[in-house]
Chain A
Amino acid sequence: MPGLRNTSFTVRIVVYAAIAALLLVLPFVVEPLLGRTWVRIIDVALLFVMLALGLNIVVGFAGLLDLGYVAFFAVGAYVYALLASPHFGIHWPFFLVLPLGAAVACFFGVLLGAPTLRLRGDYLAIVTLGFGEIIRIFLNNLNRPVNITNGPLGITLIDPIRFGDVSLSQHHVLGDLTFAPVHSYYYVFLACALLSIAISLRLEDSRIGRAWIAIREDEVAAKAMGIHTRNVKLLAFAMGASFGGISGGLFAAFQGFVSPESFALLDSIMILCMVVLGGMGHVPGVVLGAILLTALPEALRYVGPLQQSWFGEVLIDPSDLRMLLFGLALVLMMLFRPAGLWPSRVRKREFAE
């Protein structure tokens, strides 16, 4: 909260308490106003906050352009789906599978990072893009001769998150409130998202975070100053991938279903755009970007009925219109506000030069 930096301690406490209260009651405010769909959209937005923060470590902090980030999301989701569903008949508990998914994603992150660390910028972007596509092709085709991923059909009936005997896929009544699964997941995702924000903020100010920023600004100089660039970059890949893996696991548990379709290149680009549109390397900006880019396309769904009432027919399919506007937004954004909607002070200065 940059605007709050100079205000008194009491004011800050009040503001934070208000935000906390709002976040706590949010689903029960949104549901009567906009319907349960929007509670679900908020859940998804929180997942994307985590994803965007993970990618922000790689792109925003360390300056390594990753266009295949969704692959780590996919790895996390599939690890969860394979180890907690009837597909193989394995039902390991969520507390075991989720970290395992993060670990496997982390491993893939290092696997991708290690050979490509000599490359910078655009080349890295293309290699990571290729990596993302390779993962998707394998997910699509590893259903024969041995059926591992169930191919394009995906894996269904994935176990929900369970805390002891409490399963988040059931309704729970607490006093006057009924917690539907979307509500329960909201609180879990909110906790995870807040934790991600906290980790990101702490990382940014840490020794490692400063090393990343140094590499982003000038790799040669950073190396000359004694930063072990290879290890530090690998660490960025590993941590970013772990964030992706955890979000993937949560996604699988939330949806109860995964298929390769959810992990297309466009999703990687979408996450990258959240980071860039919000304000690369700036945690509040990235969070804003993730929320905006999840919510706005959903709002465009209302455009279909609107066209119907104005023109008597649906001229442009809302999902196509969404993509058209998305492409246009990317171009206009880069032309007129390339530092993002909410840039950090350092980046603002860089772009002003």
Chain B
Amino acid sequence: MDIFLQQIINGLVLGSIYALVALGYTMVYGILGLINFAHGDIVMVGAMVALAVFQLLAAAGLPVPITLLVALAASMTICIALGVSIERVAYRPLRRAPRLAPLITAIGVSILIQYSAALIWGKQYIALPPLFKTTQLHLGGAHLTDLQAAIFLLACTVMATLYWFVTRTRLGAAMRATEQNPDIAGLMGININLIIALTFVIGSGLAAVAGLMVVLYYGIGHYYMGFILGLKAFTAAVLGGIGNVTGAMLGGLLLGVIESLASGYIGDLTGGVFGSNYRDVFAFLVLVLVLIFRPSGLMGQPSAERA
């Protein structure tokens, strides 16, 4: 029972990070109908920038909250600049092209970002310098560190704000209108280019937050780390119903929990035949199962044909 609770806690924390990344996928997919393969790599850039800031400031002896804020500001600035320029240079000219073209472009951009990062930061794992000590809180028989709690709460706050923005503000309404039908939305006086750029701003900003969280949580960064994270976040977006903001949040949390539980119990369930080294398989299994049985996802409207 303790393991169960522990895995749920770990899963929720991990899932909140997935959810932040999944939002970036789902918003871009909702508006452009494009799987932005480069999104995971934007998360990686956010993580690497944060690491670079930490390494610069670790010796300066600044208070921890200031260091964190500087790192967050730096990675958000760079990620947003990156996301918006990608949209402008690579995706905008292809908006009317056959669907395969932007997908291949996105793969190309992803490879470009990865290997540029390899050039800048090298190919080795980069470790987080010791910033602060985490303290453990006890919840029944399970542990929760204050870092975990902070990640989870911050992610929830960010998501709540985004939900409010999308459902209650004029810009949010414009985003939803563009998602429904870009052409008609344009006729109604919405500046489509601005809205799409805004989508990339929000998505990349969330990616930066997620990148910072990953670095703090795992303590390392690597030029290739965005890829598998991106895939899982995409799975989360599909699980929740792609194009649906609430769905992405729910899907992220759910996927995190499923993955934690599965990798926690697989050893016992299979008598040790399969170990937790199979953990990356679960996301894909979930993906395949969702697509077979409920292609529109948990929160989505049925639209299998377009998918």
Q: Which residues of A contact B (CB under 8 A)?
A: 65, 115-116, 118-123, 125-127, 129-131, 133-134, 137-138, 140-141, 145, 265, 269, 272-273, 276, 280, 316, 320, 323-324, 326-331, 333-335, 338, 350-351
Contact = CB atoms under 8 A, between A and B. Distances in A.
A119 B119 contact: no
B115 A334 contact: no
Given A130-B231, A324-B116, A122 B278 contact: no
Given A116-B288, A326-B111, A327-B112, 8 more contacts: A123-B238, A126-B231, A130-B288, A131-B284, A140-B277, A269-B107, A324-B111, A334-B108
B128 interface: no
B281 interface: yes
A329 B108 contact: yes
B115 A327 contact: yes
A125 B98 contact: no
B99 A121 contact: yes
Given A122-B99, A131-B284, A331-B105, A137 B94 contact: no
29 contacts: A121-B100, A122-B29, A122-B307, A123-B307, A126-B35, A126-B235, A130-B231, A130-B235, A130-B284, A130-B288, A134-B285, A137-B278, A137-B280, A145-B273, A265-B227, A276-B100, A316-B119, A320-B119, A324-B111, A328-B112, A329-B108, A330-B108, A334-B97, A334-B102, A334-B105, A335-B90, A335-B94, A338-B101, A351-B98
A87 B240 CA distance: 45
B292 interface: yes
Interface in B97-129: 97-105, 107-112, 114-116, 118-119
A276 B101 CA distance: 9
Contact of B307 (A119, A138, A269): A119
Q: Name the 6 nearest CB pairs between A and B, nearest first.
A: A330-B108, A327-B111, A130-B284, A327-B112, A331-B108, A334-B105
B141 interface: no
Contacts of A137: 277-278, 280-281
B66 interface: no
B65 interface: no
A116 B278 CA distance: 23
B37 to A, nearest CB: 9
A123 B295 contact: yes
B112 A324 contact: yes
Interface of B: 29, 33-35, 90, 93-94, 97-105, 107-112, 114-116, 118-119, 227, 231, 234-235, 238, 272-275, 277-278, 280-281, 283-285, 287-288, 291-292, 295, 304-307
Interface centre among A133, A265, A280, A334 (most CB of B within 10 A): A334
B231 A129 contact: yes
Task: Tell me the interface secondary structure of chain B in the complex.
Answer: helix
Given A122-B35, A126-B238, A316-B119, A115 B105 contact: no
B231 A127 contact: no
A121 B291 CA distance: 13
Given A120-B307, A320-B118, A350-B98, A115 B288 contact: yes
B110 A327 contact: yes
Contact of A133 (B29, B112, B284): B284
A342 B52 CA distance: 45
A22 B271 CA distance: 60
B184 to A, nearest CB: 22
A65 B116 CA distance: 27
Contacts of B110: 327
Contacts of A125: 35, 103
A327 B227 CA distance: 15
Nearest to A130: B284
A140 B288 CA distance: 21
A12 to B, nearest CB: 34
Contact of A323 (B34, B97, B115): B115
B112 A121 contact: no
A334 B234 contact: no
A327 B97 contact: no
A90 B1 CA distance: 47
Contacts of A129: 231
Contacts of A265: 227
B277 A141 contact: yes
B270 to A, nearest CB: 10
Contacts of B278: 137, 141
Contacts of A134: 281, 284-285
A333 to B, nearest CB: 8
Nearest to A219: B305
Contacts of B275: 141
A313 B112 CA distance: 23
A145 B272 contact: yes
Nearest to A330: B108
B103 A327 contact: no
Contacts of A330: 104-105, 107-108, 111
A335 B288 contact: no
B105 A119 contact: no
Nearest to A220: B305
A266 to B, nearest CB: 8
B301 to A, nearest CB: 15
Contacts of B306: 120
B183 to A, nearest CB: 17
B291 A123 contact: yes
Contact of B115 (A126, A141, A276, A320): A320
A316 to B, nearest CB: 7
Contacts of B238: 123, 126
